[in-house]
Amino acid sequence: MSSPSHVADTPITDRDQLAAYIASGEKPKAAWRIGTEHEKFGFRLDDLRPPTFDGERGIEALLKGLTRFGWQPVEEHGHVIALLRDGASVTLEPAGQLELSGGMLENIHQTCSEVGTHLKEVKTVADELQLGFLGMGFQPKWTRDEMPWMPKGRYQIMRNYMPKVGKLGLDMMKRTCTVQVNLDFSSEADMVKKFRVSLALQPIATALFADSPFTEGKPNGYQSYRSHIWTDTDPDRTGMLDFVFEDGFGYERYVDYLLDVPMYFSYRNGEYIDCSGQSFRDFMAGKLPALPGALPTVTDWSDHMTTAFPEVRMKKFLEMRGADGGPWGRLCALPAFWVGLLYDQTALDAAWDLVKDFSLEERNALRDGVPKHALKLPFRGGSVRDLAMEALKIAVHGLQRRAMLNSKGSDESGFLDPLVEFAEANETPAERKLALFHGAWNGDIDRVFKEFAY
């Protein structure tokens, strides 16, 4: 989840400024970069419980320990709640899930090196605190009430608002982890094509990365329960954004969507002002109840953009949001999948050919069906596995054509190997964990912490 924006406090006086802000993210192909983010659950090695924020073994102690590696602390009301270094950040999700928001890098080799360095640093400090970290899409053992809260003003506002608009929003905040990638576009037309392709194929990523089959120590009937949670979080700010596929879609149409998303807050003078449920349109008219007479700034708009949670989200770039968190190797596979599909024009054209005749009903059926059935969800006489195999083939060729080589002469396509293996076996990470749970683990969910920790 994003931290407050740090852009110029330019007052917003008309709607055109909002679209111009998005358009300012356009970059020539040579300047396209890859920004990968991933979240993970912390746990105490002795009792597997999630660490609280404070205390000798708390999350703040972990953050402070990481400063030895050159990370600069960010404080809120005297608490260290984030770290910054070289364009990257380490932040906290509501229950202390630790997130790396990586720098904007040129290739997946660099991404994987960045992830590996981060996990090594975290493990160095975590070992001293007797903590471990687990990559999965949903907390497999602890109840919502057993998960702590982090002392961030934004989360208190969301905590109060979520139960008003959905049944699972607090679970989204406290018990989910994801991996996502942020990618660039060169023009409005390029954005539209990438948005449509990635939105239509987001369920394929959900299926390939499905890794959240347990709730409170028992199978929950889903392969990606994290993905299911989004269907009952907040209908005003989630979903498949069907309008993206309508004629005339562009920056202005996305602005109109965001203006209809109810606000959470305005960040002013180091404080989060509760604006939950209020209208950004009213804000632009100087009629926001929480801030009478005040006009929004570019910072307010940038922050508001982070409070929409569709399957693909646009800011000054596109965010792919469909995948469950997972182990180290799969963290590199997610950016490889989307870069292979979207950063090579031949691949992008082929991916569009794959999805362009999907109906609205089919796109939503894929989105609604993959949390439970994943690769085995029926589709057009075949299954999602067939779509996954075709998408992976396109992505492999796209990465091969990019020809971004490491020191050993290997291109980026090897990072897709875990996904290709899942698709060929027609078996998701969730299904493999379920097999262990019913077999070697003998129903003991504690084994997942021991066998799948970073």
| pLDDT of 181 over the 70 cut | yes
Q: Tell me the pLDDT tens digit for each residue of 375-386.
A: 999 999 999 999
Residue 5: inside a domain: no
Residue 436: inside a domain: yes
| pLDDT of 3 over the 80 cut | no
Residue 4: inside a domain: no
Q: Tell me the pLDDT tens digit for each residue of 298-312.
A: 999 999 999 999 999
Task: Say what the pLDDT of residue 10 is.
Answer: 83
Two tokens, residue 121:
């640093």
Task: Say what the pLDDT of residue 85 is.
Answer: 98
Q: Tell me the pLDDT tens digit for each residue of 67-94.
A: 999 999 999 999 999 999 999 999 999 9
Residue 10: inside a domain: no
The residue range of the domain holding 194 is: 15-452
Q: Tell me the pLDDT tens digit for each residue of 28-60.
A: 999 999 999 999 999 999 999 999 999 999 999
Task: Say what the pLDDT of residue 220 is.
Answer: 98
What is the 8-class DSSP label of residue 380?
T
Residue 39: inside a domain: yes
Please give the tally of structural domains in the chain.
1
Task: Say what the pLDDT of residue 228 is.
Answer: 98
CATH of residue 198's domain is 3.30.590.20
| Closest of 388, 396, 299, 274 to residue 340, by C-alpha | 396
Q: Tell me the pLDDT tens digit for each residue of 248-289.
A: 999 999 999 999 999 999 999 999 999 999 999 999 999 999
| pLDDT of 2 over the 80 cut | no
Q: What is the mean pLDDT of residues 380-406?
A: 98
d(CA 80, CA 54): 10
Task: Say what the pLDDT of residue 6 is.
Answer: 47
Q: Which amino acid is at 421?
A: E
Q: What DSSP string describes 186-247?
A: SSHHHHHHHHHHHHHHHHHHHHHT--B-EETTEE-S-SBHHHHHGGGT-TTSEE--GGGGST
Percent of the chain with pLDDT over 90: 97
Confidence of residue 1 (pLDDT cuts 50, 70, 90): low
| pLDDT of 145 over the 60 cut | yes
| pLDDT of 348 over the 80 cut | yes
Task: Say what the pLDDT of residue 13 is.
Answer: 86
Residue 81: inside a domain: yes
Task: Say what the pLDDT of residue 106 is.
Answer: 98
Q: Which amino acid is at 392?
A: L
Residue 6: inside a domain: no
Q: What DSSP string describes 136-202?
A: -SB-SS--TTTS-----HHHHHHHHHGGGT-SSHHHHHHHB-EEEEEE--SSHHHHHHHHHHHHHHH
Task: Say what the pLDDT of residue 9 is.
Answer: 78
More confident residue, 261 or 13: 261
Residue corresponding to tokens 């660099």: 110
Please report which helix (H) or strand (E) contains residue 283, including its range.
Answer: helix 280-284
Q: Tell me the pLDDT tens digit for each residue of 91-131.
A: 999 999 999 999 999 999 999 999 999 999 999 999 999 99
What is the 8-class DSSP label of residue 267?
E
